[in-house]
Chains A and B, each alone.
Chain A
Amino acid sequence: MNKSETVKALSEQLDLTQTETEELYNSLVKQLTSHLSERDGFSIPDFGSFTSEIRDEYKSFNPHYKQMMLLPKKKVVRFSESSALKDEFNEAEL
C-alpha cells in the first residue's frame, strides 16, 4: 500500500478530502520525527513504542582499509513492539 492509497483510505475513515488528509498525514510524519529528534520518542497504543537513543562510539573492522575504525556516536531510532502486537502475529503458532 503506497502513500496515495493510504491517504485515500484515511480520508474515507475521517470524512475529509484527500488534499486535507494528505496535508495532515505529512505534518503528522513531521511531528513524529520531531518527537524523536527533540525528545526521547513516543508510543502508539497497541502497536509499539519508538525511542531515540545515543549509540556510543565503537570500534569496527573496515574491510576496505583492512584496518580497525572508530565509529562515532550516533543518535538512532529504535522500535519495540507492544505486547498486543507481538500476540497478534504469534497467536496462531502458539
Chain B
Amino acid sequence: MSDKIKFSELVKAFAESHNITQQKAENLVRGVFNLLLDDLENEGKASITNFGSFELKEVAERTGINPQTGEEIVIPAHNKVSFKPFKALEQTVNAPFAHLESRLIEEDPSESKPIPPVAPIDSDNAEEGDQEEFEDPFKSVISPEVENEPEDLDNEIEEEEEESEQDEASIPPPVYKARESEGNSGMVLLLIILLIAIIGAAGWYFFLRDSGSSDYSNQVADNEPPKTELPAPVTQEKPAEPMPESTDNGNNEMPAVSSNDGKTSAEKESALSEKTSETPKEMTTYIIKKDEWMWDISRKVYGKAYLWPLIFESNKKVTDNPNLVEPAKTLIIPRLEGNASALTRGDYAQLAKASRIVSEAYGNVGNQDRAAEYLRFSKKYERHSKN
C-alpha cells in the first residue's frame, strides 16, 4: 500500500502554494528534470541542490535466474542511473527515527580474545568478553550446588548464596589470564566429576544418619535458623557442609589451600570428617606464583574470587596497585568469621571497608570506572552487613 503522490497532484499542490498556473508549475518541474537529463547525458552525473545527486553507472554482465522458469539467464551489461540523496534530504526523511542509535550485540564467549596477563586494564570491551568467559566455570559449579542443598537448610541462606553469586558475576576480574581459558573445559569436566562423587558421599552420609543416629542435639542444630546470636557455628552445621566442600574440591588441582575455616563444631561426626578431609584452617600467608592475581588467589584461598578486596586490604604494604602483583611475594590472608559460602555480618562489614580501599587504590592508579564500581560494591556489602 503506497501513499505515493501522483505527478498531477504534485504539480497542482505546487501551483497552488505559489500562486502560479499549473502549466507553469509543470513546466518548471519538467524543466528541472530535463536539465538533469542533459547533464547526465553530457557529463554522466548531475545533482539537485539540497536534494541528491544522480550518476550514470555501468553495470557489468552477470548471470541471473529467471524466477518464473528457474533457468539461468545472462543479464547483459547496461547503464543505470543511480541516485544518492544528500544529507539534508536524508536527515529530513529519517527524522522520525533519528533518535535511534546502533548498539553492540553481546558477543559469544568463544569469540572474545584474552588479553595478555601483564597488560594494564584499558579496554572495556575486552574485559566484558573476559568476564563472560571467566564466569563459566563458576556457574557450572555453583548451580548444581544450589540444587543439592539439603531441604532443611534455611531459605535465607539460599538467598544469600544467590546474592553472592551475583556479586561474583558483577565483579570483573582485575586481569585475565590466557592460561585459564585454555584449561577451562577440562577444569569444568573435572569439577563435575568431583561434584558427583560428593553428592554420592553426602547421600551415603544422610542415609547413615537417618537410619543409625538418634542424636538429638544434632537435629536441633539442623533446625535452627542461621540468624541467631551465633551465626558462624550455625551456618557451618552439617546441612551447609556440601557447599564449601565442593568449592574446595574445585580447587584441588591448585595448591593445598583451604576454603573452609576451622570452626567446625564439636558435634562433627567421624563419618563426616573422614570424607571431607579438611586441611588446616589457619591459612594466613600465601606466596604468589607467576601469573597470579588477587582475583585468582582469593578464589584458591577462600573459594570465592569476589573476596579479593580483603586480601588487598591486608597487603597494602606489599602492593598499592590492585592490578599488579609480583611473584614470590608473600601475602597475608585475612581470616573470615564465617565461611566463603555464608559470610557473617562482620565479614560483610570488612568486605565493605576493603572494597572502599580497593576503590581508592583504583582511583590513585587512574582507573576511575573501576573505582566507581568498587565503591558501589562497598555500599552493597555495607547493606549486607546491616541486615
Contact = CB atoms under 8 A, between A and B. Distances in A.
Q: Do A and B come from one complex?
A: yes
Interface of A: 1, 3, 6, 9-10, 13-14, 24-29, 31-37, 39-45, 47-52, 54, 59, 62, 65-79, 81, 85-86, 88-90, 93-94
26 contacts: A1-B43, A13-B27, A14-B28, A24-B20, A25-B32, A28-B28, A28-B32, A29-B48, A36-B92, A36-B93, A39-B5, A40-B3, A41-B5, A43-B4, A44-B7, A51-B2, A54-B97, A65-B125, A66-B125, A69-B103, A72-B101, A75-B93, A75-B94, A76-B85, A77-B93, A93-B79
B105 A70 contact: yes
A74 B51 contact: no
B271 interface: no
- Name the residue among B76, B77, B88, B102 with the largest chain A CB count within 10 angstroms: B102
Contact of B51 (A9, A33, A59): A33
- Name the residue among A33, A52, A59 with the largest chain B CB count within 10 angstroms: A33
A89 B35 contact: no
A14 B29 contact: no
B104 A44 contact: no
Nearest to B59: A90
A15 B51 CA distance: 25
Contacts of B119: none
Contacts of B20: 24
Interface size class of B (residues with CB under 8 A): 35 or more
A71 B105 CA distance: 10
Contacts of B81: 48, 79, 81, 85, 89
Interface of chain A, helix or strand or loop or mixed?
A: mixed
Given A68-B105, A70-B104, 14 more contacts: A13-B27, A14-B24, A28-B32, A31-B13, A34-B92, A41-B5, A48-B83, A73-B97, A75-B96, A75-B97, A85-B81, A86-B78, A93-B77, A93-B78
Nearest to A71: B102
B307 interface: no
B24 A37 contact: no
Interface string B94-116: 11110011111101000000000
B364 interface: no
A13 B31 contact: yes
B278 to A, nearest CB: 46
B17 interface: yes
Contacts of A26: 50
